[in-house]
Structure 1
Amino acid sequence: MKKLLFILLITCIIMPAIAQHKTKNLIVITLDGMRWQEIYRGADSALLNSKFTNDKAEVKKQYWAATPQERRAILFPFLWSVIAKQGQLYGNRDAGSKDELANPYRFSYPGYNEIFTGFPDKRMNTNDPITNPNMNVLEYINKQKGFEGKVIAFSSWERFPQILNVNRSGLPVYSGYADLKNANANARLKYLNELQHHTPRYLGDSTRSDFITYEYSKEYLKQYKPRVLFMAFDETDDMAHDGNYKSYLERAKQEDGFIKQLWETIQNDPFYKNNTALLITCDHGRGEVPLDSWKGHGAEVVGSEQTWFAVMGPDTAPMGEVKPAETTYHKQLAQTMAELLGFDFKANAGHEVGDAIKTVTK
């Protein structure tokens, strides 16, 4: 009898904790090179009035308002009308929240390595197509029960097959102009395979438009119901490197709209509704002073270590802008993703993994 009572007591303690965890699926989205300044302040008056903005009157009419709160809501309406109310945002340095890169290189490949492997590897110091030896959190999740074959990535930039090491991880990663290979793909996905090769290649011969990446992600999600989807946009970084502030703002607002549409698709699908977490971030920041440095990033560009992220989901408290006592780092995001799904990310290679940022309500 005592043994039975003990078992019942333990069950009463454990079962509520298990029942409380509602997150079953995860969507991760990155906006390459998107500055925290625009996320939290909206359009930058210095850049709007500079040589980097064409059609100044038109751009001001579209994006300018008296306060940072008004401007950011214009630029990122979904972020500030939905995520800010239902989730959490980190990295508003004006409010005392600091989110940063731990890697010293402050450009794309090292940034994505840090995000997905959980540590800043000094060997990952190039954007060249080298194969990443480090186990990543998407690979780890793909090996967990119920997630096998249910993790996928779509990206505009062509480098993710190397960053996520598809030869070792076995992850399906469709980057650049790679066609979806599923023989049973629906008509829309097959059309996208054709369409992407006929769209203007204004980002070069290897990087496709974010619109195509978004459409692939949305259509794949509708047909195949992945448990984890990673979608990587690139155009904000490209427009900034070109010194085109108008296009940078246009792409930022466009990507916010893509995220809104994807979230609405999720909330209208019984498979995902009310059990899916969304995490949005960037791979690096950009410069701010001197003004020309907004175009670039890297070890020599002050401010390019400054980043941000946002998270929303059924287990995440609706805290809005969070001001943690200590600086958060992108090396913590891999374990944060794992924890959102109830896992503890352990890298087989034995490398360190940053501690999760406590976004999950206990």
Structure 2
Amino acid sequence: MHKPILFILFTILCVNSITAQHKTENVFLIMTDGLRWQEIFRGADSALINDVVFTPSPEDVKPQFWKETTQQRREVLFPFLWTTIGKQGQLYGNRHYGNKVNVKNPFWFSYPGYSETLTGFVDTRINSNDKVLNPNQTVLEFINQQKGFTGKVAAYTTWDVFPFIINESRSRIPVNSGYEQATGQLSVQEELLNDMQKQVPSPWGTTRLDWMTYYLAKEYIKKNKPRVFFLSFDETDDYAHAGKYDTYLKTAHMVDGFIGDLWNFVQSQPQYKDKTTFIITTDHGRGDEPKALWKDHGDKVVHADQIWMAVIGPDTPNQGEMKVEGQYYQNQIAKTLAAFLGITYTNTQPVGEIISPASKAK
């Protein structure tokens, strides 16, 4: 056989091999603020669901969220996480098995946690939740600069600090946050949601309700087909700070439903079906001892640095709950996200390494 023909065949085999190994073309990073790993892996906490200080009417909540076993409790609270990701993806952070996920930053609250997640490193200058532009480039901004991704990265969030965390003005990534209206050529649903945002009150001031964020985000995804999408919810943290454990559970269950609905939607779309990876996590943990500290977080609250993570997609082995000992950190998410897309992410500071068990693509 002639050498040119051999070379062509070798090239085709190499390309096919790479394609077979790497299937993810789109990544969705989804976060919900301050949702504890304890509820993710154990379901409703008996010490809190039975305490009228935090659950004024246990008899109204327990029929839905209280079951005999830990496995049953977590499945009724997070049906998508456990019936879909638990069978087709991976869940990290059950410390009962020595599988640990922690934040690296020393502050254990929101802006530092989101910045660490999105940049891949800790910047101790980020030490408040103030609306200060992030001086650091995020992985979203980095990917937006890569060929084939420019204009295909977007974010929808409940908390109105994200335009500063992502540095919308510099990164040129559209970040719809707070009570920001949908813009452009609007669908009927977007027009309705815009009107509802003006009329439906939120108890959180400038932070809108999570269901508004979700349905606005879904309309954006339908219309614009982003390749990288950041979606962030906030009410799990809001209700925890308010000490309302019953509503915290209901909100966590609602967010699980949103994520499941979005997964089902992307699997119905040719651009996304079997080509999309979801990474799901939180910005910080919460206290647990004494039990009243479940409301709080920050560097003075023991265990508030403990978090969790879930991954599902075509390149992620279906190992379900990770029961092997391991230590992972929030700063590893950025590089892992980029790696799913075949992109090597770097920044001005060293970033956390790829979470290697999460992907079978090399």
Same fold (TM over 0.5): yes
Instruction: Give distance in 1, aligned partners of 2:159 and 2:236.
Output: 12
Who is 2:342 aligned against?
A: 342
Instruction: Give distance in 2, aligned partners of 1:223 and 1:2.
Output: 48
Who is 2:277 aligned against?
A: 277
Indicate which of 116, 119, 122 corresponds to 1:117: 119
Q: Letter of the aligned partner of 1:20 in structure 2?
A: Q
Instruction: Give distance in 2, aligned partners of 1:18 and 1:134.
Output: 33
Could you tell me how far 1:15 is from its partner in structure 2? 3.5
Q: Letter of the aligned partner of 1:316 in structure 2?
A: T
Who is 2:37 aligned against?
A: 36
Q: Letter of the aligned partner of 1:147 in structure 2?
A: F
Deviations 1:155-178 (A, max 9, x none): 110000000011111110000011
Does residue 305 (structure 1) correspond to residue 322 (structure 2)? The answer is no
Secondary structure of 1:85's counterpart equals helix
Who is 1:108 aligned against?
A: 110
Instruction: Give distance in 1, aligned partners of 2:268 and 2:189.
Output: 19
Secondary structure of 2:30's counterpart equals strand
Instruction: Give distance in 2, aligned partners of 1:49 and 1:24.
Output: 45
Q: Letter of the aligned partner of 1:286 in structure 2?
A: R
Who is 2:54 aligned against?
A: 52
Change (3 A) 1:324 1:131: farther
Indicate which of 140, 145, 153 corresponds to 2:142: 140
Secondary structure of 2:353's counterpart equals coil
Instruction: Give distance in 1, aligned partners of 2:172 and 2:207.
Output: 22
Q: Letter of the aligned partner of 1:131 in structure 2?
A: L
Aligned pairs (5 A) from 1:233-252: 233-252=233-252
Instruction: Give distance in 2, aligned partners of 1:258 and 1:15.
Output: 35
Change (3 A) 1:175 1:71: same
- Aligned-residue sequence identity (percent) comes to 50
Instruction: Give distance in 1, aligned partners of 2:160 and 2:267.
Output: 30
Secondary structure of 2:199's counterpart equals coil
Does structure 1 conserve the Cα–Cα contact (< 8 Å) formed by 2:97 and 2:325? no
Aligned pairs (5 A) from 1:177-326: 177-182=179-184, 184-204=185-205, 206-326=206-326
How many residue pairs match? The answer is 358
Instruction: Give distance in 2, aligned partners of 1:304 and 1:191.
Output: 39
Q: Letter of the aligned partner of 1:126 in structure 2?
A: S
Could you tell me how far 1:18 is from its partner in structure 2? 3.0
Bigger Cα displacement from structure 2, 265-274 vs 71-80: 265-274
Secondary structure of 1:29's counterpart equals strand
Instruction: Give distance in 1, aligned partners of 2:323 and 2:71.
Output: 17
Who is 1:98 aligned against?
A: 100
Secondary structure of 1:256's counterpart equals helix
Q: Letter of the aligned partner of 1:200 in structure 2?
A: P
Could you tell me how far 1:187 is from its partner in structure 2? 2.1
Who is 1:152 aligned against?
A: 154
Secondary structure of 2:169's counterpart equals helix
Secondary structure of 1:30's counterpart equals strand
Deviations 1:311-344 (A, max 9, x none): 0001111010124543100000000100111111
Deviations 1:210-245 (A, max 9, x none): 000000111111111111111100000000000000
Q: Letter of the aligned partner of 2:222 in structure 1?
A: K
TM-score for the superposition, normalised by structure 1 = 0.96
Bigger Cα displacement from structure 2, 172-181 vs 303-312: 172-181
Q: CA RMSD in A?
A: 1.4
Secondary structure of 1:345's counterpart equals coil
Could you tell me how far 1:12 is from its partner in structure 2? 2.8
Could you tell me how far 1:179 is from its partner in structure 2? 1.3
Instruction: Give distance in 2, aligned partners of 1:136 and 1:181.
Output: 24
Could you tell me how far 1:14 is from its partner in structure 2? 4.8
